[in-house]
Structure 1
């Protein structure tokens, strides 16, 4: 008889990835739970994120800076800068592919990390790190490819859930900054969600006034989860 009880675990304190002087902890849904694929969609709506096979949300002592955020697809309207970004990238082809490892993907991933996160602990990634971090056997993950002719310029790792699209991670060619490929990836996810009649695109966590998170507030309206209720930022 299958149990409907799902265990939650709390990680040990570890260095915070956003504030150098703080420590962080996460609540993690039991990664061995057989019903994890079924409850993942509900977990996303409650502010959880996925990294590899782990579904988690921050639970830090004395700090509530990380706030889950999402964009309501039907209410979103691109601003002038975002419209310019879309116009700059009309020459790119966009393809949805299965989530798998390839040397082409990994080469771009490694170049991106070395350019954007030098000495950050991820810049010497190995092939197994790519697979372990970005997807797992049970996750509803697809890779959205952005190509100029046959050249891969960006890859948006995206979970296609009933609640919406969850933007897990995006990496792109560091030599193409003028294209704003990270912005274009989110705009493309919003367009895909609208075409699939999905209500939201989940952007992970927003942190007020943090320079790494400021870009998320540009997607208006942005909803944030506080005390279990989604409200406009």
Structure 2
């Protein structure tokens, strides 16, 4: 079904405690659609929506607008000195693209949530919670695996859309914190998006007041969705240079 013909309904949740800003109450616009067209989903991404499982949502909080949709125009992205060090420090890490979940993926996810996010909304983890969060009935994500000495140390779950990637979630080996694997996976998604001739990597929401979510502004240039559209405008002069991974 083409995106022009497709219809869907938008609902609104009740208010509930915000997972990122403890003093705020959260409310979401939600779309629950079992057969969404990827092109239409990409249009919704450009309007600030995100995917969790098969549900599409966007914050619509009564007294807060801290969640700012953010994306990277991958053809213009230039890694910082710190990000270049991250790339260099992970030259011994192998990456592979797969299209199916494994028991190893969940075991790593469980360990990651238990050790890094016990105070978050995804704790405690379970196989059902993992599947409902990562999987979708209408879109199969790409899974980027990181391995070191044949051991799985990281996974990025990424939606592939006609003109963009959407980073759903990444999880990695907590004991390898010195490698900055979360940053490495974003850099890797930028690289693969460019290889696949995509224009944007959507990173979800930037929340300046949240320590856990403020890192996304470190990837430059980036664009923030405002009332006047995505700003700043994409630079006119492209610099396609990226260091090798």
Same fold, TM-score > 0.5, yes or no: yes
Deviation readout 1:27-75 (Å, 9 max, x if unpaired): 112334x345452121112111100111111001121111100011111
CA displacement 1:153-180 (0-9 Å, x = unmatched):
0000100111311111000000001110
Structure 1 runs not aligned, ≥5 long: none
Per-residue deviation at 1:146? 0.4
Which residue of 1 is the match for residue 242 of structure 2?
Answer: none
Residue 65 (str. 1) matches residue 66 (str. 2):
yes
Aligned pair partner of 1:28 in 27, 30, 52: 30
Secondary structure of the residue aligned to 1:78 is coil
CA 1:44 to 1:124, structure 2 compared with 1: closer, same or farther past 3 Å? same
Q: 1:93: how far off?
A: 1.0
Q: Offset at 1:209?
A: 3.8
Contact map agreement 1:157 1:168 (CA 8 A) in 2: yes
1:119 Cα shift? Answer: 4.1
Separation in structure 2 between the aligned mates of residue 130 and residue 97 of structure 1, nearest angstrom: 17
Contact 1:46–1:228 (Cα < 8 Å) also in 2: no
Whether 2:186 is the aligned partner of 1:182: answer no
Which residue, 2, 8, 11 being the options, matches 1:9?
11
1:84 corresponds in structure 2 to 85
Which residue in 2 is equivalent to 1:200?
A: 200
Partner residue in 2 for 1:116 = 116
Q: Secondary structure at the match of 2:203?
A: strand
1:47, 1:39 → 2: CA distance? Answer: 13
TM-score (norm 1): 0.93
Give the gaps of 5 or more residues in structure 2: 234-245
- For residues 113 and 61 of structure 1, the distance between their equivalents in structure 2, rounded to whole angstroms, comes to 29
SS at 1:122's partner residue?
Answer: coil
Alpha-carbon distance in structure 2 between the residues aligned to 1:119 and 1:179: 23
Alpha-carbon distance change, 95 to 203 in structure 1, aligned in 2, over 3 angstroms: same
Shift of 1:210: 2.6
Q: Which residue of 1 aligns with 2:222?
A: 222
Query: CA–CA distance in 2 between the matches of 1:146 and 1:228?
Result: 38
Runs of 4+ off more than 6 Å: none
Q: How well do the aligned residues superpose, as a CA RMSD in angstroms? A: 1.9
Distance 1:119 1:231 in 2: 33
Closer, same or farther: CA 17–224 of 1 in aligned 2, 3 Å = same
**Does the CA-based 8 Å contact 2:66-2:209 persist in structure 1?**
no
Contact 1:76-1:219 at 8 Å conserved across structures: yes
1:123 positional shift = 3.0
The answer for the alignment partner of 2:236 in structure 1 is: none
